Amino acid sequence: MDLSFPGFDRNTEVTKLPGDLAVLMVGIAARQTASPTAVAQARFGRIGHPSRLLQPLDGAFNGPTAALLAQWRDGIPRPEE
């Protein structure tokens, strides 16, 4: 069960709610946020560090290309192949 709130869409028209309904919705959201299920789901995202299995070892999108760009930036002539 996904209890997360949907993202805010700036393209939708803002609708004014009656005061009683707004207070009711805020109360419901507060109770849902404090529920044990919501607390457990919030912990799922913080179980561990993101996996680094697919992260490049040299930290660049492409190590040889990054080295070539660094040489070009620093004005070092490119080795002839």
Query: Is 64 exposed, middle or buried (CB count within 10 Å of its CB: 0-12, 13-18, 19+)?
Result: exposed
List, for residues 5-51, the tens digit of each pLDDT value. Answer: 666 677 777 777 788 888 898 899 888 888 888 888 877 765 556 66
pLDDT given at position 18:
81
HSE value, Cβ hemisphere, 13 Å, CA-based, for 13: 3
pLDDT digits (tens, 9 = 90+) for 46-56: 555 666 666 77
Q: How much is the average pLDDT of 61-74?
A: 84
Model-level pTM?
0.33
Can you give the pLDDT at residue 79? Answer: 65
